[in-house]
Amino acid sequence: MTGSLASVYERFGETHREFDCCDTTFLVRATGVRADAAVTAGRDAAESLEAQLNAFDPTSAVGRLNREGEVTNGHVARIVRRGLEYYNRTDGVFDIHHGRVEHDLKAFLRGDSDALPSTFDTGTVSVDDADVTADVELDLNGLAKGYVVDRTAEALAGVGRHGFVSGGGDMSPPTGPVAIESPYGDDTPLKVLETDWNVATSGGYRRSRNGTDHVYDPTTESLGSRHESVTVLARRDCLEADALATTLAALPLAEARRLATEWDGVEALVVHGGVFHTTKGFETHVVDA
Per-residue model confidence as pLDDT tens for the chain (289 residues): 444 444 443 456 889 999 999 989 999 999 999 999 999 999 999 999 999 999 989 999 999 999 999 999 999 999 999 999 999 999 999 999 998 887 877 778 778 788 777 788 789 999 999 999 999 999 998 899 999 999 999 999 988 898 999 998 899 999 999 999 998 888 899 999 999 999 999 876 566 676 676 788 888 888 888 999 999 999 999 999 999 999 999 999 999 999 999 999 999 999 999 999 999 999 999 997 5
User: Looking only at Cα atoms, what is the longest distance across the chain?
Assistant: 68
Burial (Cβ within 10 Å: 0-12, 13-18, ≥19) of residue 194? middle
pLDDT of 78: 98
Question: Of all helices (H) and strands (E), which one includes residue 170?
Answer: strand 170-171
CA-CA distance, 162 to 31, in Å (whole number)?
A: 6
Contact predicate 14/35, CB 8 Å: yes
Work out whether the CA dihedral 128, 89, 267, 216 comes out positive or negative: positive
**Residue 32 phi, psi (nearest 5):** 120, -150
**Does the predicted model carry a pTM greater than 0.75?**
yes
